[in-house]
Amino acid sequence: MTENVLKLVDMGIRFGGLNALDGLNLSVNKGEIVAIIGPNGAGKTTAFNCITGIYTPTSGMIEYLGKSIVGEEPSQITKKGIARTFQNIRLFKELSVFENVLIAMHLRYNDNIFTSTFRLNINKEKEMREETKRLLDSQDLYKYRNDIAGSLPYGIQRRLEIARALATRPTLLLLDEPAAGMNPQETMDLTSYIKEIRDKFGLTILLIEHHMDLVMDISERIYVIDFGKLIAEGSAKEVQNNPRVIEAYLGVDGDA
């Protein structure tokens, strides 16, 4: 039986008089790599912001592992097992690579000010540092451990952001335009990397991406939205040949 990790049911959100998302339905099953595509302004990142608690939908449901997460804070959603990256890389750019990942490790724990102040969590801190080392090692980032994050090449910063998300031990990983700003070789490497971490960490992945070669190569299923509405879904081949998708991207009828 197929296991739903994420399910959106008639989800909508309004900003003033604008329907940014209108009755969006989609599901992501365990172990899948699923993509959301659509023209600029279609509502893709808004959907991610609703799933991760940055926005609260005005209608519909969001279910994660069969339970509603609507109204929960972003930190609560992260602790439940949903991690994300952003279109514009959001690292602590003045901190080291090691520190960036270590901070993410702390999100999994519930230390209070008493234990932090009086160092009663020293064993836990040691454990997190060791795990940070192992994670950086497994992602071929340990050699950069003492480098300041903001000084790294763009492609390495992107990998670091994904590694930081992995540090929270997610079940579901949301990738918001992971190939943005990458050259063709970096994009090809990223495609292999996403498949690799899916298999290695047992992840389910939902991604937004404008780079169609990556989307078509990596996605088991694709959802297409335009002006906040779902206009198509299916395999890469089905979506590529859908007249509504062609019209949304090219502004012409598929038979023109």
More confident position, 249 or 204: 204
**If we measure between CA atoms, which residue out of 43, 82, 79 comes closest to residue 62?**
82
Largest CA distance in the chain: 71
Instruction: Output the domain CATH number for residue 149.
Output: 3.40.50.300
Judge whether residue 161 has pLDDT over 50.
yes
Do the domain assignments include residue 256? no
Do the domain assignments include residue 102? yes
Written as six digits, the tokens of 11 are: 């989800």
Judge whether residue 154 has pLDDT over 50.
yes
Do the domain assignments include residue 255? no
Do the domain assignments include residue 115? yes
Q: What is the pLDDT of residues 6-35, one digit of tens each?
A: 999 999 999 988 889 999 999 999 999 999
The residue segments making up the domain with residue 234 are 4-250
Q: In the predicted model, what is the mean pLDDT of the chain?
A: 89
Do the domain assignments include residue 243? yes
Can you tell me the distance from the alpha carbon of 14 to that of 82, in angstroms, rounded to the nearest whole number?
A: 24
State pTM to two decimals: 0.89
- pLDDT in the model for residue 181: 83
Cα 108–110–112 angle (5° rounding)?
A: 145
Do the domain assignments include residue 211? yes
Q: Please state the domain count of the chain.
A: 1
Q: What is the pLDDT of residues 52-91, one digit of tens each?
A: 999 999 999 999 999 999 999 998 999 999 999 988 888 9
CA distances from 73 to 54, 76, 103, 165 (A): 7, 5, 18, 17
Half-sphere exposure of 118 (CA within 13 A, CB side): 4
- Burial (CB < 10 A; 0-12, 13-18, 19+), residue 184, is exposed
Q: List all residues 6 or more positions away from 244 whose beta carbon is below 8 Å from its beta carbon.
A: 224, 226, 231, 232, 254
- pLDDT in the model for residue 113: 46
Q: At 253, is the pLDDT very low, low, confident or very high (cuts 50, 70, 90)?
A: very low
46-60, 101-115, 201-215: least confident range: 101-115
Residue 201, helix vs strand vs coil: helix
Do the domain assignments include residue 200? yes
Query: How many residues in total does the chain contain?
Result: 256
Do the domain assignments include residue 134? yes
| DSSP string over 83-133 | EE--SS----TTSBHHHHHHHHHHTTS---HHHHHTTTTHHHHHHHHHHHH
**Helix, strand, coil abundance in the chain, percent, nearest 5:** 40, 25, 35
Q: At 109, is the pLDDT very low, low, confident or very high (cuts 50, 70, 90)?
A: low
